[in-house]
Structures are given as structure tokens and as C-alpha cells.
Amino acid sequence: MTTNAATDPMIGRMIDQRYRVRSRIARGGMATVYLATDVRLERRVAIKIMHGHLADDQAFRERFIQEARSAARLSHPNLVGVYDQGAEDDTAYIVMEYIPGITLRDLLQEHRALTPEQATDILRAVLAGLASAHRAGIVHRDLKPENVLLADDGRIKLGDFGLARATTANTATGAALLGTIAYLSPELVTRGAADSRSDIYAVGIMLYEMLTGEQPYKGDQPMQIAYQHANDTVPVPSAAEPGVPPELDDLVAWATARNPDDRPMDAREMLDHVSGDRQRATGQYRTAVLRPENATAILPAGDGRAAGDGRAASDGRADSGDATDATRVIAGSPGGAAAAPVRRGAPGPRRTGSQPGALSPAGQRLADKSAKRRKRGWIALAVILVLVIAAGVVGWALGPGPWGNVRIPEVAGKSVTQARQLLQAQGLQPAARTGTRFDAVVAKGQVSTTKPAAAREVRKGTAVQIVVSGGPRMIALPAIVGQPLSTVTAALDDDFQLQDDRYEFSADAPADTVIAATGVLPGGDTVDLSTVDEYGERGPVTLTVSLGAVPDVTGRTVADATTTLQGVGLTVGAQQERYDDDVPKGQVISSQVEGSPAVRGSTVDLVVSRGPTPITLPDVAGKTIADATSTLENLGLQVTVPDCTNVLCRLTDWKALLRVDATDPVQGSTVYRGDEITLSYRQ
């Protein structure tokens, strides 16, 4: 199941500045699995992220981390690999190998039951991976078809060690039974304890389900199924599917025995049994020797000694007392050919005619057979020698000789001349014409690959074409500057290598808006991607993202300003105090960021008000009222002069004539702009 950023906030997020989440694969009780890109190694991975509402539950968090530690200890072709584990913002995650394909559950839902051959193949793969876990002292405890992954390329992998525990640890589950109820062993149901034999029980239930298309126990409530596991014996698969071989019936019965002691000790023992390795290792094969009921033996004549004494007659003389050859039929016995009693003095092959050494017809037949056997032996030896020599010649020709196979060397990144030399050194023939292709990794003009590709085994003398890099394929760039970060990331992620984003404050762009994009040309020069229409495929792209404007803290208290600035990642630096008639004492008059542009961690200096500027009241006594008033008002003070009551004041400009006697407050006092000063004078 996949989703998008509109329904899942994790989509498009960069985790630990390395893993960019692309889509959701599946969701379980403890975590959600996403497809992600490891931007550092440029590969797709599966990342399992614990649900946020479980982050505060220490038990769940420890169980989640336990899965990573358990699986990371294992390395086997039939186990899903674990690459990394960590936490960010109280979110725990596990990075695993991404296996494109389906689960065994999907296969069973599509086909119901599997053939015995298919079930056996999957069983071997599961047992091989499980044997690696058992050997490392780890019990899976949650074996079920959902955790068996069938990759598109044919690989079979066992995953999800979320409930795994060390075999030496206390495996009691407490008040609740963990694992899927349909595959729990009797001891897990009754005692809550598990070891490697509990995994074997689950394997047996899975084998039953693969052969029959259904689970052995059914019920409306989980406890009904658990009761049957604890008290009933699993039926043989052939009762539900008559075509199941007896050997697989026996295997299911062995793996699902109610008493753990009656099951295989671990996955290795069961795998050896399935593969026949156990018999080969212990020599338990039996060879049946069938003996004939009757055996016929030709007994040679002797000098009166019985044939049973182990010695043959050797004088070669004819016995005139018996003119017939002696042939005896000896009956077979359970212990071997029986030695029947023979008359002493029994005649042997009789010589006939007058020539010395002539044999009787029976003796001659024996001699002819012996000669033929010797001749056939020499012929067989000669044939064997010829075959050995021929095999040696063929082996030499197919190995170091002219007909041998060689591996195509790796020549990517080398010049065409160097590539030709390496191919010729391996006995290969470089093709006269080279090919070209776009290559985002190898520089233009250097060798990109070969056809056939490197590491392929081919015959010596095979023509190999060198393919030269034409540089990266140019791709049209979408709108970048001024666009939201999530939009730009989705548009660029498939075609280019997104580097770590840069963030800076900008008064001209809202937060999380891209304000600049930089690339690197093949020569190493940087380029502003907002000034070009195309850019090379898989080229590095660095996005500069706005953090919004630096907060305006004018008029705020120092404490309030510090909290605000630190909240966006800025640091408060020097604080300079200054008199200000408009800003109250203790409030910020202005702020200035050190360096440009401002980024997280930049320092902001503050100018803080000391309040209004103090004024020392000058001495204006003796000055005319007009001059004194002008002097004080120029200082920002307000001047009050009592009205003149003298009749002469009506006839003249008395303020320009009369002089100040004193001021209130008195001269030398500290006053501030706007304060009122009263002048006194003599009328």
C-alpha cells in the first residue's frame, strides 16, 4: 500500500539527514514500513518507523530496538538484512534491505495450496535462514507466512524479528501472548515460554498450510484456536489433500509434536533431514545384497585333498581311476555360498591327446574364459587411459588453453586505450568500433561499460565492445526558486542527487520556500540552476531553503527577545545600552545579525534602552527671560514664566528686558526632556 504526502506527513521527510522517505509499504501494530532512498549510498531501503504514540512506552521502544539488535547479528542469504538503527525527535527507526516482491501469504491467497515441490523449496529456504538465527542463539517467535518474503528475482527471505529473543533470555511473555495465535506452539500457549523448538512448531504449521491451503485449527475466537494447539494433535496434510506424499505427512507430524522433546532440536536438524544431509553425515544409508538361491562352482581336481581346505591341486596328472570331469552344484545359504562336502580324490580337468599340456574340453573352456577376461581388462585399461588423456587435453583447452572461459575485466572509468590493453591481456578481442551512452558517473570520453558487461564469463577470443561515456544525459529543470521545498524535492529526487539542504533566513521568502539551487558542472565549477534550463542526470543539487525573516524584537524586553531568537536557532550576542527618549528603559532599541546571510547559529547583537537622556539644568540666572527660555527649550525642556503684573510690562517687551533671578528646579539639577522648568524674576 502506498500513500502520498497529503495523507502521511512522513512522505518526503529526510530522516537523520540521510534517508528520504518515498512511499508507505505497510503498517503494523508497532510500526509503519516505508520505502526510502539512502541518499548517501544511492540505494533504496525499507525503513521501519515506530508509531509516534508508542514513543513514550518504554517497553515498546525497547522491543523495537531489540528487533534491530537481533536482526543485525545475523547475516544469511535467506534473512532480510538490517543496515542501520537510530532515533530522531523521539522516533525510533530501523533501516533494512528492501525486497521487492510478495509475501508467502500473498502467494497462498492467490493459489490456495502449493505443490509438494514448491512447498519443499520454500521450506528449505525458511529453515536455512532460521538455522542461522538458531545458531546465533536467537528465537524468532513470530513465524508466519506474512514474514516470509518472496522476491521478484526468486530469492526467499525471512524477516521481522520484532519478537525475537535470545534463547538464553527469559522468554515468558507475561499476561499477553505475543505472536500470531494460529502458529503458537503448545508450550507458548500453556507456559508462555519459547525456544528453538517453538519456531519448529510454527514451521510445521506453515508447511501444513502450504500443502493444504488452510490452517489445521479453526475457531471463532482466538482462545478456541489456542486450546486446540495445547490439547490436540495436528492432523496429517494428506487427510485434507490426498496428493500429499507420506514423507511430508511424517515431516509435519515430527515438527508439530505436542511434546517439544519429540520435535527437531532446531532448524538445522530439520533442514538436514529435508536435504538428506543427516543420512550422509552419519552413514545411515543401507545397501541391500541379494544372493542367488543356487550357485554353481567348478571344482578343480587335486591330489586327494578336499577342495574346502583352501588349496588347489597342482600336479596336473590325470587320474586313471575316473574318466569324467567333476562338476558340483552348491546350494546358497543365508550367510553366503555353502561349501558342500567333496569326495576326496575328485578328478580335475583331464588332459587329452598325446601333446603335453593338452586340456580336457571343460578345462579348455575355463582357460579360454580366463584369457578373454584378461584381454577385456587390458582393453578397459587402455580406454580409461585414453579418456583420462582426452579429459586432460579438453580441460586444458577449456581452461588456460585457447578454448577456455575468462571473466571480462572491469574497465569503467579508464581510457579507451587502457581498456583495450586490459581486454587483450585476458585473451579477448576488443571490437573495432566503440559505442557511446549517457553516464551520470563516468566522465565524458572515458569508458562507461562493455558489451558483454564486466564480470561475465565468455570464451577467449570473444569480441567485446567498449562503450564510451557521453557524459550525463541533460534533463530539463522544473521551476525551483520560489517553490515549496516538498514540491521541488518530489520533482528532482528521481533524476538528480539531492545533497543536504542549506537553510538561511530571508525577509523576502516564507519559511520552507526554496530561494536558491546550486549544481556542479563536470569541470568542478558551481552553477546557479536558476540561470540554466537543463542539468546533467544524477548531478548533485544543493537547495537553499528559507527560514523566513529574522524575528523583529524591537520594543521587547531582553528576556523576551532572547527567548524569541533562540527559538528559531539564533544566538544572542553583545548587548549595548543606549539612552533613548522614545524607548522605555530595558527594552530593545534595535538588533543586528553578525554575518550575511543569517543562518541557524548566527549571533544577533542587541541595543538596549537606558531610558531618556538625563539633562543637567544649566544656570540661566542673569539672562533675560527670552534668552533663558530659548536655552532651556533647545534642551527639550518646557519653560513656564509667571505673568508680569507691572503696568509697564504692558508697554514694552518685558521678557526681553527683565532678567531671571532663579529657576525651579534649581540650576545643576538632573532633569529630562519634557520636564517643566519655572523661571522667576523681579518685576
Distance in angstroms (rounded) separating the CA atoms of residues 602 and 200: 60
**Amino acid in position 679:** L
* 246 close to 227: Cβ distance less than 8 angstroms: no
Pairing of strands 540-546, 502-504: parallel
Torsion angles phi and psi, residue 228, rounded to 5: -65, -40
CA-angle at 366, arms to 365 and 370, nearest 5°: 115
User: How many angstroms separate the first and last alpha carbons of the chain?
Assistant: 101
For 551, residues 6+ apart whose C-beta sits below 8 A from its C-beta are 564, 565, 568
Chain centroid offset of residue 261 CA: 36
Distance in angstroms (rounded) separating the CA atoms of residues 190 and 488: 56
Q: For the sheet with 43-50, list strands across it.
A: 14-15, 19-27, 31-38, 43-50, 91-97, 82-88
Take residue 164 and report the three cell numbers written for it: 525475537
Which secondary structure element, helix H or strand E, spans residue 488, and what is its range? Answer: helix 485-492
**Amino acid in position 303:** D
Q: Which of 8, 16, 38, 142 is catalytic?
A: 142
* C-alpha pair distances (Å), 626 with each of 666, 667, 674: 18, 17, 19
Distance in angstroms (rounded) separating the CA atoms of residues 421 and 447: 13
Check if 56 is active-site: no
H-assigned helices in 241-318: 246-255, 267-275, 277-282
Distance in angstroms (rounded) separating the CA atoms of residues 120 and 104: 13
Collapsed DSSP state (helix, strand, coil) of residue 49 = strand
**C-alpha closest to that of 124 among 306, 273, 246:** 273
**C-alpha closest to that of 412 among 457, 437, 449, 443:** 449
Take residue 377 and report the three cell numbers written for it: 581388462
Take residue 268 and report the three cell numbers written for it: 538445522
Distance in angstroms (rounded) separating the CA atoms of residues 543 and 517: 5
* 664 close to 671: Cβ distance less than 8 angstroms: no
Catalytic residues: 142
